[in-house]
């Protein structure tokens, strides 16, 4: 069975019609997306709820401030 990250990436690919330019890592340890890309760490289900409830900057900021998602730069990021 596919993990959360794979299922979420597949759903976003179907909705948006493009491959994600970032890597997703979910709370269950699953990962999806291009190797070496910046990584969005979804620490628990609440992060996903924040982003789905308010799919704009406010939802993203609320989830980040709550500490339930983090990001990591890709290996090519020179200013990070």
Domain ranges of the chain: 4-72
In this prediction, residue 61 carries a pLDDT of 73
Q: Which residue has the higher pLDDT, 40 or 58?
A: 40
* Structure token digits, residue 33: 């997306």
In this prediction, residue 60 carries a pLDDT of 67
> Average pLDDT, stretch 52-73?
70
Nearest C-alpha neighbor of 4 from the set 19, 34, 25: 25
Cα separation, 74 vs 36, whole angstroms: 5
Q: Are 51 and 8 in contact, with CB atoms under 8 Å apart?
A: no
Percent of the chain predicted with pLDDT > 90: 26
């Amino acid at each position: 069975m596919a993990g959360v990250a794979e299922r979420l990436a597949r759903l976003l690919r179907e909705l948006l019609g493009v491959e994600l330019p970032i890597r997703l890592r979910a709370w269950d340890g699953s990962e999806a997306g291009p190797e070496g890309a910046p990584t969005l760490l979804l620490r628990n289900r609440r992060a996903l709820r924040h982003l789905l409830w308010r799919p704009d900057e406010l939802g993203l900021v609320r989830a980040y401030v709550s500490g339930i998602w983090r990001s990591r730069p890709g290996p090519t990021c020179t200013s990070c």
